[in-house]
Structure formats: C-alpha cells, structure tokens
Amino acid sequence: MQQCTADGSAQMTDTIEAEMKVSPFRRWFSSGLVALTAALLLNMAMTTPPASVLGQGLVWGMATLLLIAALKLWRDTGVSVRLVGTRLEDSHGALIVQIEDVETLTRTHFSFRPSNGFMLSLKREYDPRWCMGLYWRAGKRAAFGGAVSGAEAKKLAEAIERHLSQRRETA
C-alpha cells in the first residue's frame, strides 16, 4: 500500500516481512549457462552445419530461442518476491497471490515444485504468470523457487506459514 507524502512522493506503509531474491552469482551462472548453450549451438551451426535446410533452420531457431530465454532469465531474476502485509508481490508491486487465498503450502522433497522452492495451493484461480527462475502461477497453484537459494525460499515459506497458522488460530 502506498501513501503519498506532502512532497508528492510515494511512501510504503506496510513493511516487508520476508523477501526472496536471486543472488548475483546465481543470476550470472544460470543466465550464462543458457547463453553458453545458445553460443555452442550457433558455433555448431556455423562450423559444421546440418546437411538439410530444415536441420539448419532448427539449429538456428533453437539457438535463437535459447538466447531469448537467457535474456528473459536475466531480466526476471532481477525481480524479488516479497511478503508485504497479506500480499505476495514482486519488487515492482505487482500482486502474485493474496495470503487469504492460500489453502496449503507444500515444500516436501517429492512434491511437484521448483528446485529449492515451495508450492502454494490456492482457493481461487489466478491468471497465468511466469517469472523465469523465480515463480510461476497457473490456475489454483503458485510455485516459488528455481534460481533462488534454499535459504531464501525457506525464509519466505516460513513467513507464509506463520500467516497461515495465525489464520487457523483465529478461525
């Protein structure tokens, strides 16, 4: 929630309880690996091109898609996920999930979730959204993790669990 001050600038009124962000090393490493894969494909396409035109197009197309993915990964991992009041939002202030819409939080080893992350089951459907390496949201599910460290995701998950346990106690 923003509140305008006398000079017209915006000021945050809610505090950030927890924040999950990707470390600079993980950003460079993950984006770099995807870009390196694209560079290797481009090298292969130029030095030993496939015999068929279709094969050449496929290799060039895959390399192009990988370069686009590397740029998207770099851009998306520059964003953080924050728990502010009863909202999970990104660092730009865009809503990801309202905490009152969360039914369960799962972070067991064999659950369907991103690496080092956790999954939220939601009471209502949200529009699909994907922030590569950080989170995705589709229907009644949202998952967080991927390029983040396990400790970062755990801090955010524990803060959400505190909200869920407080809600259960008051209900």
For residue range 103-118, what is the model confidence (pLDDT) as tens digits? 999 887 766 677 788 9
Quick check: 16 pLDDT over 80? Answer: yes
Predicted TM-score (pTM) of this structure = 0.81
Sign of the alpha-carbon dihedral angle for 29, 35, 37, 40: negative
- pLDDT, tens digit (0-9, with 9 covering 90-100), for 17-45: 999 999 999 999 999 999 999 999 999 99
Token couple for 89:
């939002």
Domain ranges of the chain: 23-76, 81-170
b or e along 140-158 (b: 16 or more beta carbons within 10 Å of the residue's beta carbon)? ebbbbbbbbbeebbbbbbe
Q: Where are the strands (E) in 5-67, listed by range?
A: 10-12, 16-20
